[in-house]
Amino acid sequence: MVAELKELWRFRELLWTMVEREIRIRYKNSVGGFLWSLINPLVTVLVMTVVFKYLVGNQTENFAAYILAAYLPYMFFQFAVMDAAQSILVSLPLLRKIYFPREILPLAVILSNFIHFVLALLVFFAYLLAVYLLHPGVWPFQWSTLWLPLLLAVNLALATGVGLAVAALNTFFEDVKYIVGVLLYLLFFLSPIMYFSENVRYSSALRGPLGDWVYTLYHWNPVAALSTAYRKILLAPQPVYVEGTKVPPLPMDWGNFAFVSLICFGVLFGGYALFNRLKWRFVERP
Amino acid sequence: MSSEPAIVARDLVKDFVVSHSGANSLKTTILWFRKARVEKLRVLDGVSFDIGKGTCVAVIGKNGAGKSTLLALLARVYRPTSGFIRANGRIAPLLELGAGFHPDLTGLENVLFNGVILGLSRREISKRIDQIVEFSEIGHSIDAPVRTYSSGMLARLGFAVAGHMDAEILVVDEVLSVGDLDFERKCVRRIQEFRENGGTIFFVSHHLETVRRVADRCLWLKDGRIAADGTPDEVTALYEDRGGR
């Protein structure tokens, strides 16, 4: 693997060029450009706010910000993995002609999605500021936001590991992308994105030692752990309504986060190892 | 001629797995797992040669003799099943009609991308970008998306990039017949210059006349083995004599 990484380093300019190309292609023929990638999360958040606040009757303040803080990272993960799944197949004619480290293809789409994600986070902060200026209340920015680079690194490691594995497997079995699509959909509901992790912790269905276990297992899922972590470090802690009663917010669980980070870097290592095992057979695909 | 050869191949063997079911979905693999007939096709069967620096070598042979596989192995697109092929120096593959060009990007953006993928740094490319654009004779269209180009323009741009790579070895897979006559002459001149500067050329052709005119040496590939190796006149005569068999 060290040799593979050295080779990748030698080709770093190609990687940057491809990332740049990805971003250019995406917005080449659209006037709205980058804004279009924000439409989807903004509409979702708008709809969710209306549904939860006025139809379901959730009284959590500034609920949209809490959804967005978990939804943007999830969207990054989803797009990075789904784009990576196709990355080898669409460039197969090129792979048959020229040598270059094959991992550059999935890495380029993952990194370009990561750049979008970081830009979307900037818009997220602008949104927080706008809400504060319109309804002055609690100052929305937290010191704990300084942990953001760490979370981004763990998130990127996870997306890259899964993306590389899926890219390699999908090249041989095109069913993989459909299976992954379904799994990502499940993951969306198995992670605290449209609800809070406190809803799981204090759920009446999960009382006693069994509930403790379920909650621990629940947060071993890296996407769930990351969703919770983004919320805890980006936004002010605030009481959550669980089945109609107000409960105090749980603090950020750094122990669990450290454990999940290890999992994420393990996934990165495993995904890259799998990719390397298969990468020279891509062009010989039947 | 330098002591170190430009290209070395030793006992080069390449097998391809031929799948009759064309298994590329999980379902077929699982359903047909027991019946999977894995058949191996030996495309190259022990090919060895040394090519000295500055030589122009032509490879001839029937379709399916393994010519393109040999080029792909040289370009490191495939891994050999056993044996090895090694090139000393930078290789510039001449791609068919600008493979690797993205239709939505402009000519200029594609030149940059193609140069980087062929192993140049961005700084090296920006230094030669004017030369490349001038050579390609594309003019102002260089800022238009490549999807608006004619196939002749694509070929010219592709050759212009590969021709300005400062490569030591040029690999050509039958592409030099796409531009108009003037441009073809220009390409031939460029290749001549390339050879005068000590560059090695490795090309595949069905056009025996071209082989006799430009090559110094000719390899006849037959069923994955070298059937003959010598001067173009000898080898092409033998090839024509036997009708490729």
Q: Delimit the domains of chain B by residue range.
A: 7-241
Model confidence over A261-272: pLDDT tens digits?
Answer: 999 999 999 999
Average pLDDT over residues A144-173: 95
Query: Mutate which of B26, B28, B85 to test chain A, going by most A C-beta atoms within 10 A?
Result: B26
CA distance B52 to B89: 12
Domain that holds residue A41: 2-284
Closest residue of chain B to A174, computed from CA coordinates: B25
Average pLDDT over residues A47-54: 76
Average pLDDT over residues A227-252: 88
Model confidence over B182-227: pLDDT tens digits?
Answer: 777 777 788 788 888 888 988 888 888 888 888 899 999 998 899 9
Residues of B in contact with A25 (CB under 8 A): 102, 104-105
Find out whether A226 and A152 touch, Cβ atoms under 8 Å.
no
Contact A280 B118 (CB under 8 A): no
CA distance B112 to chain A (A): 8
Find out whether A52 and A58 touch, Cβ atoms under 8 Å.
yes
The pair of three-digit structure tokens given for residue A191, joined into one six-digit string: 């992670």
Contact A14 B117 (CB under 8 A): yes
| Predicted pLDDT at B1 | 45
Return all residues near B145 (Cβ < 8 A) that are at least 6 apart: A28, B103, B104, B105, B106
Model confidence over A64-96: pLDDT tens digits?
Answer: 888 889 999 999 999 999 999 999 998 888 888
Domain count, chain A: 1
CA distance B99 to chain A (A): 6
CA distance A40 to B40: 49
Residues of A in contact with B26 (CB under 8 A): 173, 175-176
- Percent residues over pLDDT 90 in chain A: 49
Residues of A in contact with B25 (CB under 8 A): 173-175
DSSP secondary structure string for all residues of B188-231:
HHHHHHHHHTT-EEEEE-S-HHHHHHH-SEEEEEETTEEEEEE-
Q: What CATH code is assigned to B7-241?
A: 3.40.50.300
Which has the closest alpha carbon to A165: A177, A150, A147?
A177
Contact B116 A95 (CB under 8 A): no
CA distance B90 to chain A (A): 12
pLDDT bin (cut points 50, 70, 90) of residue B177 is: low
Residue B209 bridge partners (DSSP):
none
Residues of A in contact with B117 (CB under 8 A): 14, 17, 94, 98, 100
The pair of three-digit structure tokens given for residue B89, joined into one six-digit string: 């120096």
